[in-house]
Structure 1
Amino acid sequence: MRAYYFDSLPGDQRLPHDSTHPVSEETLKAIGVLYSRIPIDAAGQWEQKINAIASERAYRNHDIISISKAGLGDEFESKMKMFYEEHMHEDEEIRYILEGSGFFDVRENPTDAWIRIHLDAGDMIVLPSGIYHRFTLDMGNKTRTMRLFKDEPKWKAHARGDETDVNPYRLEYLKSFPGMRAAA
């Protein structure tokens, strides 16, 4: 995992867009983003570690999603644009990269700056409910990812806007920051 501020320059979303200003794990934790490195090993110890995390966080289900040009065919570009639209979810988003790599961009609070997080196989990220974020592949154009969830997934993406800014899950997220007042 490598995290840094997004440079906001025009260009393909799958390029690094590295501002050369790194972001520490402590900064990520401060905005509620958790990271773990769980190397994939042939003995399957990674599965035991994932199961322990799932149990600890009361996650009972998971699935595996593969994203690639070969797998999505003609829908590849439209799916990439959809994943890259800024949004939030009402559930935590837990992702464990099994193969390939990609970027999660998250909004820093209170600056609203984009932080880009590059993940490879063996990286796990937990995004809190209510955080604005987006996802894109990198130039490798493929990933196979395990998604964990409590019961049935609530992955409805709430696009950023006035209505989402007052979503109860967004307001609860903002309350987690000292000195922040949630809009009524």
Structure 2
Amino acid sequence: MVQAWYMDQSEEDQKTPHRAQPEQRVPAQQLRELGVCSWKLNPDNYETDPELAKIRKERSYSWMDIITIHKDTLPNYEEKLKIFYEEHLHLDDEIRYILDGSGYFDVRDKEDKWIRISMEKGDMITLPAGIYHRFTLDENDYVKAMRLFVGKPIWTPYNRPADKHEAREKYVQFLAQTA
């Protein structure tokens, strides 16, 4: 399963772990209370993996593509990394499955503190619609990920502040119910 921890306040290189001192790990249950779900799958057979097929069917993830984020494969690499790292939300769930490489998703907790989620080969995650988050590569500078959607993909990020969007309002209500 994914590893997660509270971040320090440093503004230095976004690709470093940024672990708060003393270290404060975040258990999977706390992530679930934020609406973040994760799985550990076998990416070496993702095309025929029955566990992935089951998750996709249960959650209606009907659309999929694969993206490789590396300076040699992604046009406008530096610009894209800056955009991915801007705090934003989406109106739909964000689903990512790491087929190779590694990176970080950062999400806000109920007190608006950053939690860093380390993603590596085999990790799959869903971030609920309306959660503030961002993504960056780690120091390996490479990730190959499957992107999944319910229906056709909608790529629009809404940078913070975006509290008036219905998805954000629903997410805040969800947080209040889990308190």
Contact 2:42 2:49 in 1 (8 A): no
* Aligned-residue RMSD, C-alpha: 1.6
Q: Distance in 2 between matches of 1:81 and 1:179?
A: 34
Q: Secondary structure at the match of 2:81?
A: helix
Q: C-alpha separation between the residues in 2 aligned to 1:85 and 1:10?
A: 13
What's 2:73 paired with? 71
The corresponding residue for 1:51 is: 53
Partner letter of residue 30 of structure 1?
A: E
How many residues end up aligned between the 2 structures?
175
5+ unaligned residues in a row in structure 1: which ranges? none
**Does structure 1 residue 166 correspond to structure 2 residue 164?**
yes
Structure 2 residue identity aligned to 1:33: V
Alpha-carbon distance between aligned partners in 2 of 1:62 and 1:99, rounded to the nearest angstrom: 16
**Aligned amino acid, residue 106 of structure 1:** V
| CA distance in structure 2 between the partners assigned to 1:122 and 1:10 by the alignment | 29
> CA shift at 1:143, angstroms?
0.5
Once residues 47 and 155 of structure 1 are traced to their aligned partners in structure 2, the CA distance between those partners, rounded to angstroms, is: 26
Distance 1:8 1:132 in 2: 17
Q: Matched residues in 2 for 1:92 and 1:46: separation? A: 24
Cα deviation, 1:51-93, whole Å, max 9, x if unaligned, reads 21111001111000110011125x2111110000000001111
List alignment gaps of at least 5 residues for structure 2. Answer: none
TM-score w.r.t. length of structure 1: 0.90
Deviates further, 143-152 or 46-55: 46-55
Q: Write the distance in 2 (CA, Å) between the matches of 1:79 and 1:8.
A: 23
The runs of 4+ residues in structure 1 deviating greater than 6 Å are none
